């Protein structure tokens, strides 16, 4: 059996503090500190406990050269090798773990970016429950615990030294920007018009043309920028209540401007599934259409290989796409939202995505705004709601 270490690995010496009654009686403190080593490898997608005695071996094992297990056991000890193989940090040649590790290597991730991405994915997190727990722990006014917020602007000169700039004359774009308000109050029972749904999707994600840049290299021109014109971020949808489209999971084809059905859902299933997607943020579930921007890692890293800025470019894509979704929806009198508090793992399972190849970074949605202000929305310009909470 030949072995090598996985390609990307992070080791963290985490401190665990626990109360010890015996220690309290003898020292008066009662707190016992223990260092526990944890390993994170993106091909596993989870933290793995590592014995302190194995950390040195992991640092010495080659991630590129295959070595016979017997030879490694002679150097590091058979028990160490056995434990590391069991954790899948030490990989057997030809195994399923080897195949996943190879795919991760071939995608050309920057190692620190891969660690950050895979370590930040949620699975089954309920943000409402967390918020309630946090409120109980605070036992009082939240702002008393947090203290004053940093000022909204870092001022570098006294007011008298600032060079004032003229404000532009108001145009329709200003009205659009003023009315771009994140929605938390959707008219859940109303169906979104088919044409409006299609228009928002095309303006944010649709390809306006395909450009043959080089043999077997096609670039897309969309209404948003993307590094290298690659546009590796595609739209996966959960349609809840749109005219002429059955509730279900879909993939959007940006060149054909068409939906590719993945799985049909009934109304209750759609609402329950989207609630999982958005971490139980109940005020978002009423939107009629949910668009999940999913990054195809290999598409971006094909050009920007092991690049320090490549993952940042993927994150920028999400910002461009979400803002365009907001503006396209606002122009049609619709409402939109984006949230990063999402259960990526639940989304991957639902759409059949392998996180080594592609993954969601956020959830966006749009639809019909409700008539009542049941949930607070940040609308300081009163472009949507007047001072009494009535629709403008």
Angle at 179 between CA 177 and CA 181, to 5 degrees: 100
Output the pLDDT for position 29.
66
Beta-carbon contacts of residue 201 (< 8 Å; ≥ 6 apart): 235, 237, 252, 257, 291
Output the pLDDT for position 145.
77
From CA 169, how far away is CA 175, in angstroms rounded? 12
Per DSSP (E only), the strands in the chain are 2-5, 10-19, 31-41, 46-50, 67-68, 90-92, 209-214, 217-221, 233-239, 248-253, 258-264, 289-296, 335-339, 358-360, 363-367
Q: What is the mean pLDDT of the chain?
A: 94
Confidence at 17, pLDDT banded by 50, 70, 90: confident
Confidence at 267, pLDDT banded by 50, 70, 90: very high
- Average pLDDT score over residue span 60-85: 96
Output the pLDDT for position 15.
86
Which letter does DSSP use for residue 182 in this model?
B
Q: What pTM does this model have?
A: 0.90
Per residue in 162-179, pLDDT (tens digit) is: 999 999 999 999 999 999
Output the pLDDT for position 27.
63
Query: Please, are residues 250 and 325 in contact by the beta-carbon 8 Å criterion?
Result: no
Output the pLDDT for position 65.
96
* H runs (alpha helix) in 259-362: 267-277, 297-301, 310-331, 344-351
List the domains of the chain with CATH numbers.
2-106 (no CATH), 172-367 (3.40.109.10)
Identify the CA nearest to 39 among candidates 26, 31, 49: 49
């Amino acid at each position: 059996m030949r072995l090598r270490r996985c390609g990307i690995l992070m080791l963290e010496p985490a401190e665990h503090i626990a109360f010890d009654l015996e220690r309290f009686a003898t020292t008066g403190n009662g707190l016992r500190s223990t260092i526990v080593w944890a390993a994170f490898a993106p091909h596993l997608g989870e933290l793995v406990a590592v014995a302190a005695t194995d950390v040195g071996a992991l640092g010495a094992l080659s991630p590129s050269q295959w070595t016979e297990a017997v030879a490694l056991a002679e150097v590091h000890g058979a028990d160490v090798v056995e434990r590391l193989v069991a954790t899948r940090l030490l990989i057997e040649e030809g195994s399923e773990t080897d195949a996943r590790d190879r795919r991760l290597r071939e995608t050309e991730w920057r190692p620190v970016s891969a660690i950050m991405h895979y370590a930040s994915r949620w699975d089954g997190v309920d943000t409402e429950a967390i918020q309630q727990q946090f409120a109980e722990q605070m036992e009082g006014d939240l702002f008393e615990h947090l203290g004053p917020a940093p000022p909204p602007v870092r001022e570098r000169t006294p007011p008298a030294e600032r060079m004032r700039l003229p404000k532009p004359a108001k145009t329709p774009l200003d009205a659009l920007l003023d009315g771009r308000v994140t929605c938390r109050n959707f008219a859940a029972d109303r169906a979104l018009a088919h044409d409006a749904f299609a228009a928002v999707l095309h303006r944010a994600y649709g390809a306006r043309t395909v450009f043959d840049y080089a043999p077997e290299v096609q670039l897309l021109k969309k209404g948003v920028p993307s590094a290298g014109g690659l546009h590796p971020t595609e739209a996966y949808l959960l349609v809840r209540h749109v005219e002429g489209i059955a509730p279900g999971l879909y993939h959007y084809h940006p060149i054909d401007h068409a939906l590719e059905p993945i799985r049909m859902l009934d109304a209750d299933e759609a609402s329950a599934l989207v609630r999982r997607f958005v971490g139980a943020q109940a005020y978002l579930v009423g939107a009629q259409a949910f668009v999940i921007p999913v990054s195809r890692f290999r598409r971006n890293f094909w050009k920007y290989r092991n690049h320090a800025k490549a993952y940042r470019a993927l994150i920028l894509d999400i910002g461009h796409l979400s803002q365009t979704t907001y503006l396209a929806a606002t122009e049609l009198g619709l409402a939109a939202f984006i949230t990063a508090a999402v259960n990526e793992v639940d989304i991957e399972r639902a759409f059949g995505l392998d996180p080594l190849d592609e993954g969601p970074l956020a959830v966006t949605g749009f639809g019909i705004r409700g008539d009542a202000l049941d949930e607070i929305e940040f609308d300081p310009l009163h472009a949507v709601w007047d001072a009494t909470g009535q629709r403008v």
